[in-house]
Amino acid sequence: MRLNNRYMRDESFKIRLKNLPLKEKLILIGSFVTFISVFFPWYADMDKFQTGDMFLGITGPLYLTGLIVLLASGASFGFIMMKINGSTFGKLPIKEYQLHMLFGGVALLMLVIANSVFFHSKFGTNLTEKSMGIGMLMSFIGLLITAFGSALMIKSKEVDFDAEGRLDPLIDLKERTQQDLDPDMNEVLQDDLETQETLNDLIETHNKTDDANRF
């Protein structure tokens, strides 16, 4: 029974993931790539003694920038995963695309700081060679994908169902007269009224004639 329930949950997750809009899929993929990039080499160096070091995103003298990238990308990834699982943080103070752009902007700032410091001429004066690692390239690619997904989210102009408001009727029936609603029907009714008045006059004249004959 437990295996069946687990299988059903897995299948349900696959269906929800498959039905996820393209913009959210891009943000999910981009944030995941950025998240795992910190566990790959970000940069490497070589000194004049032909010895060098290689640092991951969360190691080395600039580990703090990698840690912030990890947290920012993990936040975007976790937010989309929560939507897939049907749970949310409730009503956010900012729009969803602004949230992803904020996390992406923080991560991008950390990457710029890390590269500007590492490749500065005063950083490691004994180093003869500095190179960017695969992890750093993955970070930029992941942020680019995330930014593209956020741009699609802006373009789609999603309807916010949490917003409070009211819809006014397109036509105020109280202010419309019967003639405005159906002029032809109004003309027919007017003819009927005239016919009815004529009949009433004939009946009244007939009744007066009968009364006179009786006397």
Q: Give the pLDDT confidence of 98-154 residue by residue, as tens digits.
A: 888 899 999 999 999 998 988 877 776 666 677 888 999 999 999 999 999 888 888
Model pTM greater than 0.75?
Answer: no
Between these two residues, 76 and 130, which has the higher pLDDT value?
76
Please name which of 51, 74, 76, 66 lies closest in space to residue 115, comparing C-alpha atoms: 66
Given a cut of 80, whether residue 179 has pLDDT beyond it is no
> So what's the pLDDT on residue 39?
94
Sheet with 127-132: list strands edge to edge.
Answer: 52-56, 41-47, 127-132
Pull the structure tokens for residue 53. 């070091």
- Say which residue the tokens 């802006």 belong to: 154
**Mean pLDDT computed over 56-80:** 90
Phi and psi torsions of 47, nearest 5°: -100, 180
Q: Please, which pLDDT band fits residue 203 given cuts at 50, 70 and 90?
A: confident
> So what's the pLDDT on residue 143?
93
Q: Are 143 and 108 in contact (CB under 8 A)?
A: yes
- Give the tens place of pLDDT for each residue, 10-26: 667 678 778 888 888 89
Q: Please, which pLDDT band fits residue 162 given cuts at 50, 70 and 90?
A: very low
> So what's the pLDDT on residue 24?
87
Percent of all residues in the chain with a pLDDT value above 70, rounded to a whole number: 67
> So what's the pLDDT on residue 65?
92
**Cα–Cα distance between 150 and 51 in angstroms, integer?**
43
- Say which residue the tokens 């059903």 belong to: 8
DSSP state letters, 14-79: HHHHHTS-HHHHHHHHHHHHHHHHTTSEEEEEEETTS-EEEEETTSSTTHHHHHHHHHHHHHHHHH
